[in-house]
Amino acid sequence: MIQEGLVSKGTISDSMKKAISNIQKQAIKLVKDAGPDAFVAQSQEFKKSLDDSVQKDNEEDSTEISNIKGIIDEIAKKANVTSARKQIEKLVQDKLPTFIYMEDHKPFQGIAHLDQIKQKKDQNQLTDEDKTFLMILEMAGLDFEEEHKRANTKDKEQRMLDMNDASLTLTSLLADHWSQRNYRVRFEADGYHMIAFVSDEVQPALVPLNERSKGFQWFFSFDTTFLYETEGTFKNAIILLDEPGLHLHAAAQRDLLKRMKEYAEGNQLIYTTHMPFMIDMERLDNIRVCTESKEHGTKISSDFYTADEHARFPLQAALGLSISQSLFVGQYNLVVEGITDFWLISIIASMLREEDQASLDGRIVITPAGGATKAAYVGTMLHGQQLNVVVLLDSDPEGQRVAEGLVKKWIMKDRHVLLLGQAINRSEETTIEDLFPEEFYLDSVNKAYSRELKANPITLEDLAKHHHPQIIKRIDSVFIERGFQPNAEGWAFNKGRPAKLLLTELPKKNLTALPKELISKFTQLFTKVNEAMPALSNNLIPKEKNDTKGM
């Protein structure tokens, strides 16, 4: 390597070539036997050997010796594995996140004897409860050693002021962490005896913390401990929590879940739970099920169906609670992705029933889930309750993924899962808006956005410039071209606005006034849903005219 770089210049003598060759042979053997670091240690000897091997009076060789030494130094620098390893280790350590692990801990019950804690502190025998107390004291702005000294002083007024400041500090720090009541913390001290009281608007009288519920004591200690350990703010940490909130009732668990969302901002939070109220119903896609078996040990999976009934129970219970609080369900259920699907399907089905036309069976209850993934979970829960379910998904990549990866595994039977495009024999990506003729739907868009569009409505020619199969995607592209700002999800067009307008305007029209293409496609869709619904007759005999249960 060294010799090739210099021979090309044609300026070195035979003695110099020989010296370089010897260095190369020695270097190769050295690195092979002892590793690259050995070359670093020997580099000075190699440079010295150059001086010893060539003629001192050869000016050309003297110039090249200097060049060769520079090359040897450069090679030694690159071969310094130890230094490189230290740099890499430092780089990796700088990138490693902070791990924060919290299991259960001894909560502070609100009563402390400063002299006893001082003795145990000096003997390095503090209990977990003692450590929690010292931590809370520090967060409140009090110094334990100072408070221990003041226990015997006669300056009661200053101590009362200190206690009052500490009470206000801790109250302001924790006040908005519980939604049930507006709690206030107060410290009182008499000699070595120190008590933490808690009051609220329901019980304004001061109540010792140890007389509050075990759940409140746990939440108080947990939250203060977490704030203390992380100094209130932390980023790029991996937070590991084992069964948080075991001692809390449902409302307090929701408070804890809210706090944990704040802990997770800028961090990765992982926690285990068996409790339905500790499941975040807004992020069902984050759930993983843990199972154990003799053959495979512990296995973490996003495939809910593969878990045993015990592992599935918390999620099933959480889904059941969520739906029971917000949705109507019946014996026959059509689960759709979003509220606009619910509005448009419901109103067209109702209009067809009013005219004794083939429609969606009146016994079917339509349930909007809030997205394709949630539709899978909701459909699974309803199916698990021995109810009849069909899940209707958009024919887009997300709908395809859910149908193939989740719904089919969980509900098992393909006929319980319908893609909009397949239902109306359309091979392209399809949403509910694509069942409307383009001109008809575009007219609703222009009316819904008349204030923003003013005298420049969107035309079919505008849509023709864009080639996405979904009409809402093409409209969104036109909106962006016209300077509408996208929302957090990247949409400049809100499909809910024309859907609300249609919900109001369609009932004012006679069925014969609607485009035949619209009626045909919705009738085709309703036929597919009725046929797919388990235990429901395949015939489309209309129900009573005023049966709007699907609404």
Average pLDDT over residues 274-300: 74
- Residue 541, SS3 per DSSP: coil
Query: Which comes out higher in pLDDT, residue 130 or 442?
Result: 442
Same domain, 87 and 153: no
Instruction: Name the residue type at position 359.
Output: S
Q: Is residue 390 pLDDT above 60, yes or no?
A: yes
Between CA 378 and CA 373 the distance in angstroms is: 9
3-class secondary structure for 150-200?
HCCCCCHHHHHHHHHHHHHHHHHHHHHHCCCCCCEEEEEEECCEEEEEEEC
Comparing CA positions, the residue from 393, 382, 377 lying closest to residue 330 is 382
| β-strand partners of 185 | 198
Same domain, 82 and 111: no
Contact of 241 with 272, CB cutoff 8 Å: yes
Give the pLDDT score at 326. 46
Q: How confident is the model at residue 384 (pLDDT cuts 50, 70, 90)?
A: low
Between CA 447 and CA 459 the distance in angstroms is: 12
Same domain, 82 and 173: no
Q: Domain count for the chain, please give it.
A: 3
**Residues 482-497: b if buried by 16+ CB within 10 A, e if exposed:** eebeeeeeeebbbbeb
Q: How confident is the model at residue 544 (pLDDT cuts 50, 70, 90)?
A: very low
Give me the domain span that covers residue 54: 2-94
On whether residue 452 sits in a domain, the answer given is yes
DSSP letters of 249-270?
A: -HHHHHHHHHHHHHHTTTSEEE
On whether residue 284 sits in a domain, the answer given is no
Between CA 340 and CA 551 the distance in angstroms is: 12
Domain endpoint, select from 51, 71, 94: 94
CATH number at residue 184: 3.40.50
Same domain, 226 and 142: yes
The mean predicted confidence, pLDDT, of the chain is 77
On whether residue 84 sits in a domain, the answer given is yes
Same domain, 68 and 114: no
Comparing CA positions, the residue from 341, 512, 331 lying closest to residue 423 is 341
For residue 361, the Cα-to-chain-centroid distance in whole angstroms is 39
Contact of 236 with 147, CB cutoff 8 Å: no
On whether residue 343 sits in a domain, the answer given is no
Same domain, 141 and 58: no
- 243 sits in the region (left: phi over 0; alpha: psi -120 to 50; else beta) called left
Whole-prediction pTM: 0.48
Domain endpoint, select from 248, 279, 310: 279
3-state DSSP helix/strand/coil % of the chain, to nearest 5: 55, 10, 30
Element (H, E) at 60: helix 59-79
Same domain, 235 and 120: yes
Q: Is residue 406 pLDDT above 60, yes or no?
A: no
Instruction: Name the residue type at position 196.
Output: A
The percentage of residues in the chain with a pLDDT greater than 90, rounded to a whole number, is 22
Q: Which of 7-16, 21-30, 109-118 has the lowest mean pLDDT?
A: 7-16
Positive or negative CA dihedral for 32, 37, 43, 44?
A: negative
